[in-house]
Amino acid sequence: MCPGSYSTRLGRGFSELKDMKTYLDELWDAVGVGLGAGRILYVDGNAGSDGYSGLPDYPLKTILKAQTLSEDGRGDYIIVLNHYQETFPITITKSLLHIIALNVGQPMVWLTASADTAIFEIEADFVEIAGFEFGAGASHAAIEFTASKGYGRIHHNVFGWMQAGQDGIKVVAPFEAAETIIERNLFGNSLTRDGVRIDHAMTRGLIQKNIFRSVPGIGINVVSQISLGTIRKNEFMLPSDVAGKAITLGADNTGVFVVDNEANFGDTDSMVAIPYVDGGGADVNTWSNNKRNGAVVNPA
């Protein structure tokens, strides 16, 4: 299946990621190079059955069943064509597992918790998740790291745009998401707290090229350490003129490179407060070319 032949517009104000054809082309380019490394299992929550094989003409009904049929460390792909509510959270325990939504019937595949839970709990290394629109429970993020795992990639998803959740992505204390890449996601104002929240550690992590639109809390809130990590080229439309609403680093962050991010509130010169806060003290982290109102500013 080649998604490049579709031109459905993403809709609902999601113009930042262009139209659906471009979006799917980018997503396919981002994940397609690895296809064939492992087994490919298809999921269709409407037409599938968990008694099927998972082949294209016989898709499974749930992501959970597809994970059961996958093999740890093999590099399997779960391609989600459509989805219907299943039991959340889905705890990812298979390493090198790729979960990719490629629904061409609607703009994105929606996963929304009907109870106070996360959607995915990551407890394996090298996990990739892409192409979904998420909602989550009132006290949960859509994607949570609930074990000390990492090296994965979360990209081309939507968090809290039309559907709620406390945070978009969260590293739950006392766990670490080492060397994880979070890129090209959209975080919206239906979240009730932060876009990306690091409650413990994300050593050498990379957070880049995401869009944060009026996230009520903090766009990227590093409560604990993201030592030796990089935060670059993210864009923030802030909900208020308050310091630290775009990026806030906690006191124990060291060696973080924060570069080329842009933030503003209201008109081009409306924001007075500094949208970046570094609690680590002088010369502990490196900040370069981060903008407020279009002009470069240093963190508060």
Tokens (6 digits) for 60:
């499974």
Q: Domain spanning 3-226 has what CATH number?
A: 2.160.20.10
φ, ψ at 248 (rounded to 5°): -130, 125
| C-alpha–C-alpha distance, residues 103 and 96, integer Å | 22
Interval 149-208: pLDDT, tens: 999 999 999 999 888 999 999 999 999 999 999 999 999 999 999 999 999 999 999 999
Interval 226-248: pLDDT, tens: 888 999 999 999 999 999 999 99
Position 282 scores a pLDDT of 85
Using an 8 Å Cβ cutoff, are 7 and 20 in contact?
yes
Position 281 scores a pLDDT of 82
Position 11 scores a pLDDT of 39
What pTM, to 2 d.p., does this model score?
0.88
DSSP β-ladder status, 295-296 and 291-292:
antiparallel
Position 5 scores a pLDDT of 31
Using an 8 Å Cβ cutoff, are 134 and 143 in contact?
yes
Q: What is the four-CA torsion angle of 20, 24, 25, 26, rounded to 10 degrees? A: 110
The 3-class SS string of the chain reads CCHHHCCCCCCCCCHHHCCHHHHHHHHHHHHHCCCCCCCEEEEECCCCCCCCCCECCECECCHHHHHHHCCCCCCCEEEEEECCCCCCCEEECCCCCEEEECCCCCCCEEECCCCCCCCEEECCCCCEEECEEECCCCCCEEEEECCCCCCCEEECCEECCCCCECEEEEECCCCECCCCEEECCEECCCECCCCEEECCECCCCEEECCEEECCCCCCEEECCECCCCEEECCEEECCCCCCCCCEEECCCCCCCEEECCEEECCCCCCCCCCCEEECCCCCCCEEECCEECCEECCCC
| Per-domain boundaries in the chain | 3-226
Position 13 scores a pLDDT of 39
Position 161 scores a pLDDT of 87
Q: For the chain, which residues score pLDDT lower than 50?
A: 1-21, 32-34
Position 105 scores a pLDDT of 57
